[in-house]
Amino acid sequence: MSEQKRLPAPEQLQGDMDQYLSGPEAEKNEKALSDALITKAKLEELGVPVPAQLQVQIDELQAAKNPLSKLPKWASKTEWVKVLQARKATLEGAIAALGNMEPASSMLRAEIARIDSKLVEPKEELGGVSRAGYAKKVTKVLGLEDVTESKPEKTLTPEQVEQLLNTLEERFNANKNRHEKVEWAKVKSSLEANPEALWSINEMEKVGHEPDVYFADDKGFDVGTCCKESPEQHRNIVYDAEARGGDDDLRSAEEIAEKMGIDVMEPDKWEKELQAHGEYDLNTYSWLKTSKEKRKTGAALSGARTSGVVRVNQRYAVYHRGFMGWRGSLRVLWKKS
């Protein structure tokens, strides 16, 4: 690939951006915008319609103040990432609408995985960094808002709540061995009283965690990742941000869990509760909650059932392979009567 097509490292953009934001061009644009806005205000005060040409000038000058307008096309990635995110959300909604019906849901998940790979695929013209990763580095270096990620509202629509509860009830009734003494009606009323819990569980459902109640006591119950193997969309990940080491092309279990509003599953509950009522992680390894003391050694805990034996082992937290995933868990308190 020719040198002309290769984009500069994010750090190299800083000097150009500083010059643009504080140099003669910036001062000239700022004065022109100020004059245009004063003219517009006077016309409006007199009740005179603002000429379309003046409004266009104002819009262009205001747009020019946005630092992202001076970045290379591949740097900000705003529209490109938004398009892919919108398509991914549509597919996730379709899976939820299908109630995970196969084989259609598997086909849709495969398409979602393809979209995810587009976001993290290393590109030579970006210096070996993915498109999404380059965008994040640029916005971080320039101190800009990260436009490649949107913060979701942690609430569901009434239709989404109904759909989710129906899916959870069906799975709950089909796997009573996980919660023999727990009543669905009590679980349902507690979930309905906890909108944030419903949102988090829906996040788990969208990416194939197959959430279900796997532990309960007098205070509440735990909803966790109950699929046979670690969710396909959440594999090839390290344990936490420290293990990721600032590499935007890697994902970590703890960071994903935090965004979903849940925790990484505790090793004791994975071993003594989940594995006691079924066989899980026969072909995958799942990262499990690891103490800060253990993390100081560079290791993290993971679990697997190999040769019929349930094992919780430690491995380097930076380890990531196609069979390395994680399991999540959410504690929900019983609704007070």
pLDDT digits (tens, 9 = 90+) for 221-239: 999 999 999 999 899 999 9
Share of the chain above pLDDT 70, in %: 72
Greater confidence, 178 or 68?
A: 178
Greater confidence, 266 or 81?
A: 266
End of a domain among 73, 103, 128?
A: 73
Determine the pLDDT at residue 107: 75
Determine the pLDDT at residue 152: 55
Greater confidence, 139 or 203?
A: 203
323 and 182 share one domain: yes
Average pLDDT over residues 152-163: 86
Number of domains observed in the structure of the chain = 2
Average pLDDT over residues 267-284: 96
In a domain, 16, yes or no: yes
Highest mean pLDDT among 29-33, 99-103, 199-203, 248-252: 199-203
The rounded distance, in Å, linking the Cα atoms of 303 and 175 is 22
3-state secondary structure the chain: CCHHHCCCCHHHHHHHHHHHHHCHHHHHHHHHHHHHHHHHHHHHHCCCCCCHHHHHHHHHHHHHCCHHHHCCHHHHCHHHHHHHHHHHHHHHHHHHHHCCCCCHHHHHHHHHHHHHHHHHCEEHHHCCEEHHHHHHHHHHHCCCCCCCCCCCCCCCCHHHHHHHHHHHHHHHHHCHHHCCCCCHHHHHHHHHCCHHHHHHHHHHHHCCCCEEEEEECCCEEEEEECCCCCCHHHCCCECCHHHHCCCCCCCEHHHHHHHHCCEECCHHHHHHHHHHHCCCCCCCEEEECCCHHHHCCCEEEEEEEECCEEEEEEEECCCCCCCEEECEEEEEECCCC
Q: Taking CA 18 as the corner, what is the angle to CA 14 and CA 20, rounded to the nearest 5 degrees?
A: 115
In a domain, 84, yes or no: no
In a domain, 119, yes or no: no
End of a domain among 41, 73, 105?
A: 73
**Lowest mean pLDDT segment, chosen from 80-84, 260-264, 298-302:** 80-84
**Lowest mean pLDDT segment, chosen from 153-162, 251-260, 328-337:** 153-162
Determine the pLDDT at residue 120: 60
171 and 61 share one domain: no
In a domain, 142, yes or no: no
In a domain, 190, yes or no: yes
167 and 43 share one domain: no
63 and 164 share one domain: no
Q: What range does the domain containing 267 cover?
A: 155-337
- pLDDT at residue 123 greater than cutoff 60: no
191 and 333 share one domain: yes
- pLDDT at residue 144 greater than cutoff 80: no
Determine the pLDDT at residue 78: 45
In a domain, 10, yes or no: yes
Q: Which pTM was predicted?
A: 0.59
In a domain, 67, yes or no: yes
End of a domain among 23, 54, 73?
A: 73
31 and 174 share one domain: no
Highest mean pLDDT among 49-53, 60-64, 130-134, 285-289: 285-289
In a domain, 206, yes or no: yes
- Six-digit token pair at 40? 């517009």
Of residues 331, 328, 325, 313, the one with CA closest to residue 264: 328
